[in-house]
Structure 1
Amino acid sequence: MEELKALAQQGNTHLTHWNDDVPVRSCNDLAAFSTAYEVAEHCFEMSTDRDQMYSIPVSPLYKAMESEAGIKFQMESADESIDLADLLSSYYRNGLDKSSTNINNKNMNEKNFDYLKDQVLYTGFGEALEGELRQNMEKQQPTFTLQHDAYYGDSRVSAALNFRKSDQSDLYFFNSYKVQLQKEGKEDNLEQTFYINRGSNITLKEAFNLMEGRSVNKDLTAKDGEVYNTWVQIDFKNSDAKGTFALNHYHENYGFDLEGVLAKHPIKELENPKYKEDLINSLKKGNLQSATFVKDKGEVKQYIEANPQFKTINIYDSNLKRLDTRQRNEQQESQGKSQSQSKASKKESAADDEAPADVQENKKRRKSQSM
Structure 2
Amino acid sequence: MNLNNLEDLKKEVKDLGFNPKLADQLEKHMKSLPPYFTLKDQLPGDKGQVDMTLHFRKSHQSDYYSFGKFEVTAGQVPPTPDNQTYMVLTENKDNKDKPLVKEFGSPNEAIDFFKKQKGTSELAIGESPESRQLLASMEKGKVNFVHNEFRQPFYSPPVKQTFYLDNGQGFTATQATNMVQDRTVHRDNMMTALGDTYKAWIRLDFDTPKDQYGNHKLKQYHDPSYGFDLDKTLSRYDIKELKDPAKLEQLKEAMRNGERVEVTVTAKDNKEMKIFAQAVPRYGKLDFFDGQGRSQKREQFEKKTGVEQAQTKGQGKAKEVEKSKGVSVR
* TM-score clears 0.5: yes
For 1:229, which of 196, 199, 207 is the aligned residue?
Answer: 199
Segments of 5+ residues of structure 2 without an aligned counterpart are 78-151, 315-324, 326-330
Going from structure 1 to structure 2, the CA distance change for 1:292 and 1:158 (only over 3 Å counts) comes to same
Aligned to 2:85: none
> Structure 2: how far apart are the matches of 1:221 and 1:294?
37
Going from structure 1 to structure 2, the CA distance change for 1:329 and 1:154 (only over 3 Å counts) comes to closer
The C-alpha deviation readout for 1:103-147, integer Å capped at 9, x for no partner, is: xxx7xx211111011111222222322333234333333322222
> Structure 1: how far apart are the matches of 2:308 and 2:291?
25
Aligned to 2:65: 172
Aligned to 1:243: 214
Segments of 5+ residues of structure 1 without an aligned counterpart are 1-105, 346-369
Identity %: 29
> Structure 2: how far apart are the matches of 1:171 and 1:195?
18
> Structure 2: how far apart are the matches of 1:235 and 1:297?
38
Per the alignment, in what secondary structure is the counterpart of residue 175 of structure 1? strand
**Contact 2:41 / 2:51 at 8 angstroms: preserved in 1?**
yes
Question: Which amino acid in 2 is paired with 1:191?
Answer: K
**Contact 1:136 / 1:144 at 8 angstroms: preserved in 2?**
yes
Shift of 1:258: 0.7
The structure with the largest helix share of the pair is 1
1:207 correspondence with 2:100: no
Shift of 1:250: 1.3
> Structure 1: how far apart are the matches of 2:228 and 2:283?
8
**Contact 1:200 / 1:219 at 8 angstroms: preserved in 2?**
no
User: Which deviates further from its counterpart, 145-154 or 231-240?
Assistant: 145-154
**Contact 1:200 / 1:218 at 8 angstroms: preserved in 2?**
no
**Contact 1:175 / 1:196 at 8 angstroms: preserved in 2?**
yes
The C-alpha deviation readout for 1:151-194, integer Å capped at 9, x for no partner, is: 34662122211112234433211000111222235123221111
Per the alignment, in what secondary structure is the counterpart of residue 291 of structure 1? strand
**Contact 1:123 / 1:204 at 8 angstroms: preserved in 2?**
yes
Aligned to 2:54: 161
> Structure 2: how far apart are the matches of 1:166 and 1:201?
21
Shift of 1:339: 7.2
Shift of 1:235: 0.8
1:322 correspondence with 2:292: no
Shift of 1:199: 5.8
In the comparison of the two structures, how many residue pairs are matched? 237
Flag the structure with more relative contact order, 1 or 2, with Cα contacts below 8 A and sequence separation at least 6. Answer: 2
TM-score (norm 1): 0.57
TM-score (norm 2): 0.63
Going from structure 1 to structure 2, the CA distance change for 1:276 and 1:339 (only over 3 Å counts) comes to farther
Going from structure 1 to structure 2, the CA distance change for 1:141 and 1:283 (only over 3 Å counts) comes to same
**What is the correspondence of 1:24-39 to structure 2 with a 5 Å cutoff?**
none
> Structure 2: how far apart are the matches of 1:176 and 1:113?
17
Superposed CA RMSD in Å reads 2.9
The structure with the largest strand share of the pair is 2
**What is the correspondence of 1:182-331 to structure 2 with a 5 Å cutoff?**
182-184=75-77, 185-187=152-154, 188-198=157-167, 200-222=169-191, 224-237=194-207, 238-252=209-223, 253-295=225-267, 296-323=269-296, 327-331=297-301
> Structure 1: how far apart are the matches of 2:263 and 2:71?
32
Aligned to 2:22: 129
Shift of 1:254: 1.1
**Contact 2:69 / 2:164 at 8 angstroms: preserved in 1?**
yes
> Structure 2: how far apart are the matches of 1:198 and 1:224?
17
